[in-house]
Each structure stands twice: as C-alpha cells, then as structure tokens.
C-alpha cells in the first residue's frame, strides 16, 4: 500500500484549484492530512536534506502516476518524457519554489473538468 493512499490523494486533489504544483499540493496535504505529510517527511525528508529523493519527489511521482491511470482519474494525464520548455503542464519555477523544490522547472497538475 502506498504511503499516500488514493483516497487521501483524491481528497486533497478535490480541494485544489484547477491548476496547481506539487508544492501547493504538499501545503494542502500538510493542512488536511498532517499525519500523512509527517509520515512522508519522516521517511523521505525535505529537499536539501541528505537525499535528493524527498517527500516532494514522492508526491510528484504519485501525482504523475495517478494522472496517467486508466479510467477517469481526477487529474488530466501529464506527459511522459519531459523536455525543459514551457507547456500547459510545465513552467519555470519561481525563486521561492526553486528553494523548496530544487528544480528550475515545475510541473503544473491540472484537474479534470467535472462532468
């Protein structure tokens, strides 16, 4: 079972705006499911700690994999094989985002329109 079950992931996605980053998702997860966020941070740490794979990396991987699932996930599918260029799903990180996440690029997850 994943550290962030689909039920928790979907509960947080439903609270997110139409477009959001992994940092915004992490902040909301910490707000509504603090025990899950604490488990992730304890297991993986935050960006800048001993390892490059952090709780944010885990969340990004979970959101990406979830978005590409068969059926009708709550997110539009993110493309595979990123290239560093602006797109509806990728943009340059702000200086503040880069301090928290480390990458010059950040994925923009998009909620699937309801209906």
pLDDT in tens, 23-49: 999 999 999 999 999 999 999 988 766
Query: Domains in the chain: how many in total?
Result: 1
- Is 56 part of a structural domain of the chain? yes
- Is 102 part of a structural domain of the chain? yes
| Confidence (pTM) | 0.89
- Is 1 part of a structural domain of the chain? no
Q: Are 89 and 108 in contact (CB under 8 A)?
A: yes
pLDDT in tens, 2-21: 789 999 999 999 999 999 99
Mean residue pLDDT across the chain: 89
Cα 106 to Cα 94: distance, rounded to the nearest angstrom: 9
What is the reported pLDDT for 48? 60
- Is 33 part of a structural domain of the chain? yes
More confident residue, 88 or 24: 24
Domain residue limits at 69: 6-110
- Is 71 part of a structural domain of the chain? yes
What is the reported pLDDT for 19? 96
Residue with tokens 């997850």: 109
- Three-state SS at 90: strand
- Is 115 part of a structural domain of the chain? no
């Amino acid at each position: 079972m994943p550290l962030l079950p689909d039920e928790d992931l979907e509960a947080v996605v439903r609270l997110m705006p139409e477009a959001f980053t992994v940092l915004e998702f992490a902040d909301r997860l910490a707000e509504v499911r603090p025990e899950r966020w604490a488990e992730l941070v304890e297991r993986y740490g935050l960006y800048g700690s001993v390892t490059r794979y952090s709780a944010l990396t885990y969340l990004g991987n979970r959101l990406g994999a979830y978005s590409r699932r068969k059926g009708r996930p709550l997110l539009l599918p993110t493309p595979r094989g990123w290239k560093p260029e602006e797109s509806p799903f990728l943009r340059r990180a702000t200086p503040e985002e880069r301090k928290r996440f480390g990458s010059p690029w950040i994925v923009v997850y998009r909620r699937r329109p309801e209906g």
